[in-house]
Amino acid sequence: MIVTMIFVDMIRNNEDRDDDKNRPRIETRIVTMIGTDEDRDEDKMIKAVHYQITDPGTRWIKDAEIAVDSDGPLDADRVLTPNVIKVEGGYRMYYHGFGPERPNPDSKGYILSAFSTDGGNWKKEPGVRLDAGGEGAEHYIWAPDVIPLPGGGYRMYVEGRTEQAAGGARSAIVSARSDDGLVWEREPGVRLGSEHASYGAPRCLYLDPGPDGQSSRFRLYVSTSPFPSGAPRNIVSAVSDDGLQFELEPGVRIPQETEMESYQVYAPEVLRLGDGGYRIYYAGWVAAPEVPAGSKFHGRIFSATSRDGLDWRKDPGICIDNGGRWDAAKASEPCVIDLPDGRFRMFYEACDLKGRWRIASATSGSRAEHSADSGIAQNGDR
């Protein structure tokens, strides 16, 4: 089956002729994607999570209202690291929370959830989805990433942190399973960890099938830094044939290299696109010791594009800058969904100058607009 999408753009004519001065120029773009009449099971999994048929692009307008506030007994101290998936009837957001009525007094953070029918109005769901504890996540967990599994149910990858006797905390990627997305059970072991490095903020994508042409394969994008301290603080990737045992791939996906990434690059949100390319949104942090409360780092959200998910080209400019009402100090940890009306929404953690953490959001234009803005050219040029 060949699917052809035609986008019609009206662009103001810049020519000097008087009769054309106010006449829009119409440009038609045709994007063709080839598939089969019925997707194979592995194709369905590729499209089941972290997938958009068109590129959401780089133009985002901050929404006026908060998506999820830090105002409940389980999250009054902070809400962080959103991850949103589509579920029956709407969307479910998983996020890190910490509050005065935490069920485990030794826990310093856990995963909560909220539900929305439209991606705009969110209602917190009762209880804790997953608490800290166990190997690799003794003291707290954050940065969840939930994917559906081929046989049904879900797996959550999450950054676990364990405080060390000598000081500091080491991060590792751990996981949990659920049949319904609400009741979760930790899986034994660590998905990705090291004595000499921290790994955090995971995003897991399905890859094309392995050598047998049948089984699913996985790529995990993570932030990494040397442990106990040091640089660089980059984004790297690891692959797995079973979603449990991951092996680091050579090289760096997103290097820490610009002035606005001087502390680290962090929290990849990776989208596979309908034309076969990829877009990543990620946070760049700089030290901000002058901030009176909350985060001592300024965070901003940037983007990059890739043809293969391995070699990336950073886009110029900033997608989401700090400095607004909710994110005066920091904007970080992006995640992106498509909305029923064809637009896209990005959720991100936001910290104001009073040290209050919330989940904020920004919205894009139409799908057609963002196909026009796509930074991925068909022939590898920009």
pLDDT score of 14: 36
pLDDT score of 44: 87
Using 50, 70 and 90 to split pLDDT, how confident is the model at 59? very high
Rounded to an integer, what distance in angstroms lies between the CA atom of residue 320 and that of residue 269? 14
The one-character DSSP state at 320 is B
Residue 135 scores a pLDDT above 90: yes
pLDDT score of 314: 98
Rounded to an integer, what distance in angstroms lies between the CA atom of residue 158 and that of residue 176? 8
Residue 175 scores a pLDDT above 90: yes
Residue 238 scores a pLDDT above 70: yes
Q: Which of 50-54, 121-125, 349-353, 372-376 has the lowest mean pLDDT?
A: 372-376
Alpha-carbon dihedral angle through residues 54, 335, 366, 63, given to the nearest 10 degrees: -170
Please enumerate in sequence order all residues whose Cβ is within 8 A of that of 7, keeping only pairs 6 or more positions apart, or say none: 28, 29, 30, 31, 368, 371, 372
Please enumerate in sequence order all residues whose Cβ is within 8 A of that of 61, keeping only pairs 6 or more positions apart, or say none: 362, 363, 364
Residue range 40-373, CATH number: 2.115.10.20
Specify whether the CB–CB gap between 209 and 217 falls below 8 A: yes
pLDDT in tens, 256-269: 999 999 999 999 99
Burial class from Cβ neighbours inside 10 Å (0-12, 13-18, 19+) for residue 128 reads middle
Residue 26 scores a pLDDT above 70: no
Domain limits, the chain: 40-373
Token pair listed for 46:
């590729």
Residue 117 scores a pLDDT above 80: yes
Count other C-beta atoms under 10 Å from residue 236's C-beta.
Answer: 21
List the 247-248 sheet strands across, edge first: 197-207, 217-226, 234-240, 247-248
Token pair listed for 291:
């901030």
pLDDT score of 216: 81
Residue pointed to by tokens 């399973």: 177
pLDDT score of 143: 98
Determine the residue type at 31. V
Specify whether the CB–CB gap between 114 and 68 falls below 8 A: yes
pLDDT score of 13: 36
Rounded to an integer, what distance in angstroms lies between the CA atom of residue 27 and that of residue 5? 14
Residue pointed to by tokens 């409940």: 72
Rounded to an integer, what distance in angstroms lies between the CA atom of residue 254 and that of residue 270? 11
pLDDT score of 195: 94
How large a percentage of the chain has pLDDT more than 90?
Answer: 79
Residue 27 scores a pLDDT above 50: no
Measured distance between the N- and C-terminal CA atoms of the chain, rounded to whole angstroms: 28
Using 50, 70 and 90 to split pLDDT, how confident is the model at 165? confident
pLDDT score of 328: 96
Rounded to an integer, what distance in angstroms lies between the CA atom of residue 103 and that of residue 87? 27
Mean pLDDT computed over 248-258: 97
Determine the residue type at 153. G
Mean pLDDT computed over 119-136: 97
Beta bridge mates, 68: 359
Using 50, 70 and 90 to split pLDDT, how confident is the model at 167? confident
pLDDT in tens, 62-91: 999 999 999 999 999 999 999 999 999 999
Buried-exposed string 87-116: b where 16+ CB fall within 10 A, e elsewhere:
eeeebbbbbbbbbeebeeeebbbbbbbbbb
The per-residue pLDDT of the chain, averaged, comes to 87
Count other C-beta atoms under 10 Å from residue 364's C-beta.
Answer: 23
pLDDT score of 39: 53
pLDDT in tens, 281-299: 999 999 999 999 999 999 9
Whole-prediction pTM: 0.86
Rounded to an integer, what distance in angstroms lies between the CA atom of residue 252 and that of residue 127? 38
Residue 118 scores a pLDDT above 90: yes
Which has the closest alpha carbon to 83: 135, 161, 157? Answer: 157
Mean pLDDT computed over 124-128: 98
Rounded to an integer, what distance in angstroms lies between the CA atom of residue 362 and that of residue 52? 17
pLDDT in tens, 322-337: 999 999 999 999 999 9
